[in-house]
Amino acid sequence: MTTSALHKSKPADQIHCVDPATREPLGSVRVDSPADVDAAVVRAKVAQQAWKKTSFAERRRVLKALLSYCVEHKDEICAEVQRGSGKTRENALLGEIWPACEKLRWMISQGEKHLKPEKVSSGLLAHKRARLEYHPLGVVAAIIPWNYPFQNIINPVIPALMSGNAIVIKPSEWVAWSSAQFILALRKVIEDAGHDPNLIQAVQGFGETGAALARSAVDTILFIGSVGNGRRVVEASAERITPVVMELGGKDAFIVCEDADIEQAAHAAMSGCFINCGQNCVASERILVYDGVYDAFAARALELTSPLRQGSSRDGVVDVGAIATPLQLDVIEKAVAGAVAQGARVLTGGKRIHSDKGNFFEPTILADVTPEMDITRDEVFGPVMLLMRVKDDAEAIRVANGVSYGLSSSVFSNDRDRARKIASELEAGMTAINDFGGVTYMVQGLTFGGVKASGYGRMNGREGLRSMCNIKSVVDDRFPMNRPNRLFPVADADYGRFSGVIELLYGRGLSKKWRGLTKLLSRKS
Ligand code: NAD
């Protein structure tokens, strides 16, 4: 039986999980029904009632316990991630544990600052005080994909807890086994810290379980996944007007100008294309290289890619791991075959590795790729470097922006002003200059998210934290005056008086202001 057949076995009341790099069965996870989902949301709401009253110091104490868990159990987590997704040990450590630790560190040191009530000017109402308060929304739903099995879970847990929310997580069916282990472990940390573990819950299943969570009584939804399912979640959320943050796919442009440092750019492209075997929403899916350095860049990229070792980290150190799902393997194979049929040239790789051992696609470089080819529009989400030739800044910007997505991007040039100028023209939520676009994820003070079909709303940073809050505007008296603000009954002269106030305050020039003042003082209507 193939892995996809295992996944699709009916009745689908169990998810049978396998290691994509070895095809060894891992175990089965029960599928939650819509009633189970609703019950989880109710439990989360109950747990949140006590949690929302905790101090920031207490929340920090719990986050510190989570940080200790990540550091002390990193090897176990990496091993579980590897088994669940087929990625390499190093990808698990650098792509899952490190960002989790950094996110916790940032939240522990910065979270309170961004959640404390914030004074704002009361403007014209000088007798009033105004402030913004950040209250938890209640229960956050996180519907997440399979590409970072641990990171995708802990990433929303951290801001949810810091802002006083509970969270119900719907992990991807493809990594249901490892997700179940991680969520159990996080719940234990919460319980050991003296709080209700129902603050963090998992609901497991296929798309139907995700759809049930999107329709449930949660207070906000973070959806990370494909555009098609994102659209379905938005539709489902409309029923209760539940707010959503959409983190969808990408087709990131990676621009290499003729004055770029080719060595630096080539290594960054390796990260952009082959980290996590390309299964990265911020993968550098289109490498746009200027004519003058195209051949040199292609030659260096080929030199770096050809010797890459691929396999399971269980058999020793490898550079590139497996593709996490057999469906994704089909997508990559079809995209590459389509590009070749449309005229792309394979410099290296280009094939799936037929073996009973796991889902592998060779690290691949395709040259002579043009914007007319389908592969430059649709997300590949695999270890495929597409080399496209451009002649100048204007063409690079036009090609970069000529897709429906707008997640991250990169620009390489030794002229920083020029690089910044190109960067500012890119339709993307993130841009890294002289680095792989994914590096922005490691700067936790920055936000993460896209424009166009890549979604809306933001994770990470201040905005990500506040996306889980009811941002409440509060006004009160600067000094207790107890003077009624009498607007009723309306007097004959009121219209003229207020019209005078508006002209006095906002009229341009002294004569207009003078006219406003005279109207204000006049008793005529
Ligand atoms: P997917 O859309 O197939 O699944 C994501 C999650 O949605 C899974 O848990 C799935 O079970 C659930 N789901 C499926 N149908 C649903 C429905 N009708 N209602 C509610 N939930 C439903 O995505 P995937 O294949 O798991 O992940 C790959 C995609 O995720 C890529 O497009 C990638 O770019 C994107 N991604 C984006 C980011 C980001 O931050 N922008 C990060 C990682 C991955």
pLDDT tens across 193-216, in order? 999 999 999 999 999 999 999 999
Residue 205 CB less than 6 A away from ligand 1: no
Q: Is the dihedral of CA 260, 261, 266, 267 positive or negative?
A: negative
Quote the ligand 1 centre to 74 CA distance (angstroms).
25
List the one residue out of 343, 325, 341, 461 whose CA is nearest residue 381: 325
> What is the rounded distance in angstroms from the CA atom of residue 41 to the CA atom of residue 55?
23
> What is the rounded distance in angstroms from the CA atom of residue 41 to the CA atom of residue 166?
9
Report the CATH number of the 253-442 domain: 3.40.309.10
Catalytic residue among 247, 285, 362, 503: 247
pLDDT tens sequence across 66-112: 999 999 999 999 999 999 999 999 999 999 999 999 999 999 999 99
Kindly list the domain boundaries of the chain, sorted by start residue: 23-247+460-472, 253-442, 486-521
Q: What is the pTM of this model?
A: 0.95
Quote the ligand 1 centre to 63 CA distance (angstroms).
27
Residue 379 CB less than 6 A away from ligand 1: yes
- Cβ proximity of 225 and 47 under 8 Å: no
> What is the rounded distance in angstroms from the CA atom of residue 109 to the CA atom of residue 118?
18
| pLDDT above 60: residue 10 | no
> What is the rounded distance in angstroms from the CA atom of residue 181 to the CA atom of residue 198?
15
Residue 214 CB less than 6 A away from ligand 1: yes
Mapping DSSP to helix (H, G, I), strand (E, B) and coil, where does residue 474 land? Answer: strand
Q: What is the pLDDT of residue 481?
A: 78
pLDDT tens sequence across 135-160: 999 999 999 999 999 999 999 999 99
Strand pairing report for 244-247 and 220-224: parallel
- Looking at 3.30.930.10, 2.40.50.140, 3.40.1280.10, 3.40.605.10, the CATH number of the domain 23-247+460-472 comes to 3.40.605.10
Whose alpha carbon is nearest atom 42 of ligand 1?
281
Per-residue pLDDT band at 484 (split at 50, 70, 90): confident
Quote the ligand 1 centre to 229 CA distance (angstroms).
7
> What is the rounded distance in angstroms from the CA atom of residue 36 to the CA atom of residue 25?
26
| pLDDT above 70: residue 5 | no
> Which ligand 1 atom sits nearest the alpha carbon of residue 327?
25
Q: What is the pLDDT of residue 485?
A: 82
Beta strands in 403-487 (DSSP E): 405-406, 409-412, 432-433, 451-452, 455-456, 469-477
Which residues have C-beta within 8 Å of that of residue 454, sequence separation ≥ 6?
247, 248, 249, 250, 405, 406, 407, 428, 429
Q: Which two tokens stand for residue 492?
A: 């004959």
Residue 281 is among the residues annotated as catalytic for this protein? yes
> Which ligand 1 atom sits nearest the alpha carbon of residue 146?
26
| pLDDT above 50: residue 3 | no
Residue 263 is among the residues annotated as catalytic for this protein? no
> What is the rounded distance in angstroms from the CA atom of residue 495 to the CA atom of residue 524?
9
> Which ligand 1 atom sits nearest the alpha carbon of residue 236?
19
Whose alpha carbon is nearest atom 13 of ligand 1?
207
Catalytic residue among 281, 285, 362, 379: 281
